[in-house]
Amino acid sequence: MLTVSHLSKRYPGSSAPALDDVGFTIGDGEIVGLIGRNGAGKTTLMAMMAKARRPTTGTITYRGVDILSRDDALDRFGIMIQPVFLPHISAEDNLRFYLGVHGDKAHERNIRPVLELVGLWRYRTRRPSGFSFGMKQRLALAIAMVNDPEFLILDEPFVGLDPDGVLQLITVLRRWAVDRGVSMLVSSHQLNELQELCGRFLFLENGRLADEFAGERGSTIVVDLSRPLGAGERSTIAMLDPSAVIRDDGASVEIAAEGASLNRVVGTLASTAGIAAIHDKATRLAECFGEA
Ligand SMILES: Nc1ncnc2c1ncn2[C@@H]1O[C@H](COP(=O)(O)OP(=O)(O)OP(=O)(O)O)[C@@H](O)[C@H]1O
């Protein structure tokens, strides 16, 4: 378990703290999303967890050890905050170099699978100096994942991946969390992707932890109708799916996206009141950004 307690950071010369008395825990195998507007303090928090910046006050402990007290405290971490690599050696040699610096020959076997995962295997002999922005991001992601980490800190990992790559990455990360108990803190502005991945969210606002809430995987679909349902039609829908929520005006119905009766309810609505639109219910996640 990782525990952050009363963590604050004030940059020299700034009037307000970038991070202000933040505390939370992340358990083994938990995938936690870190969200907040630009400047909310996400990178500052992750950089302190990665020991790249020192807190002004507060502590971060991993498995009971204060990470600042030991040089090897982050050996089992995979970190992607800013793309960091050597531009003039090949992509494959970057991974080999990274493992070499950490005295870690054993994980050289991971070089091919992680480069395949991020779609860079066929560019393995090319130097990142000639890579596009997205390819550089993907190389940084590969470096963060190559040592079979126990804990991943990923800042905007989906940037630079195509939709297939995003899906593959989410699948692998979720599998790592379940099969190997890998924990993760993932920051992103791509809310749909985060929603697919994370079981819990931390919402930073002006350096403070403004909210903490569970994810809503298996979300709710809202069906807007062409006309309001009559009393008999309401009863029919309630019989088909007792958990369906008919809004007061009768003009829209909320249904669990993964419910067994989804098709029957939608089919009945289509053939009675008619369907004007179908959309995802705004989640707490989206609301965090809609409440500006
Ligand atoms: N090195 C620095 N020196 C002074 N102020 C800084 C420094 N780094 C960040 N800040 C300030 O700290 C606050 C938090 O910045 P941070 O980069 O952590 O936010 P963020 O949530 O990661 O933003 P973004 O989504 O844009 O990446 C901002 O007000 C920023 O201007």
Res. 216: pLDDT tops 80: no
The pLDDT tens digits for 190-210 are 888 898 899 889 999 999 999
Out of 3.40.50.300, 1.10.1660.10, 3.10.20.30, 3.30.990.10, the CATH code matching 2-210 is 3.40.50.300
Cβ neighbour number for residue 186 with a 10 Å cutoff = 24
Cα gap 2→198, rounded to integer Å: 16
CB 9 within 8 A of CB 48: yes
Helix (H) or strand (E) holding 202: strand 200-205
Q: Ligand 1 center to residue 184 CA distance, Å?
A: 21
Contacts of 242 (CB under 8 A, 6+ apart): none
The CATH number of the structural domain formed by 216-288 is: 3.30.70
pLDDT over 70, % of the chain: 96
Please name the residue whose Cα sits nearest to atom 13 of ligand 1.
18
In angstroms, what is the C-alpha Rg of the chain? 23
Phi then psi for residue 157, to 5 deg, are -70, -15
Which atom of ligand 1 is nearest to 44's Cα? 18
Q: Ligand 1 center to residue 41 CA distance, Å?
A: 6
Please name the residue whose Cα sits nearest to atom 11 of ligand 1.
18
The band of 8, judged by pLDDT with boundaries at 50, 70 and 90, is very high
CB 273 within 8 A of CB 226: yes
Helix (H) or strand (E) holding 141: helix 133-145
Interface predicted TM-score (ipTM): 0.96
Res. 292: pLDDT tops 60: no
Q: Ligand 1 center to residue 14 CA distance, Å?
A: 11
Check residue 228 and report its DSSP letter. P
> What is the rounded average pLDDT of the residues 159-174?
84
The band of 214, judged by pLDDT with boundaries at 50, 70 and 90, is confident
| Domain residue ranges of the chain, discontinuous segments joined by + | 2-210, 216-288
- Which of 19, 22, 35, 43 is the pocket-test mutation for ligand 1 (most atoms within 8 Å of CB)? 43
Helix (H) or strand (E) holding 180: helix 163-180
> What is the rounded average pLDDT of the residues 39-50?
95
CB 229 within 8 A of CB 43: no
Residues in the ligand 1 pocket, defined by CB under 6 Å: 11, 14, 18, 36, 38-44
Q: Ligand 1 center to residue 154 CA distance, Å?
A: 16
Q: Ligand 1 center to residue 187 CA distance, Å?
A: 14
Q: Ligand 1 center to residue 111 CA distance, Å?
A: 33
Please name the residue whose Cα sits nearest to atom 28 of ligand 1.
39
Q: Ligand 1 center to residue 18 CA distance, Å?
A: 6
Cβ neighbour number for residue 17 with a 10 Å cutoff = 19
Which atom of ligand 1 is nearest to 45's Cα? 18
Contacts of 71 (CB under 8 A, 6+ apart): none
Q: Ligand 1 center to residue 84 CA distance, Å?
A: 19
Whole-structure pTM value: 0.79
- 19, with CB counted inside 10 A (0-12, 13-18, 19+), is buried
Which atom of ligand 1 is nearest to 189's Cα? 25
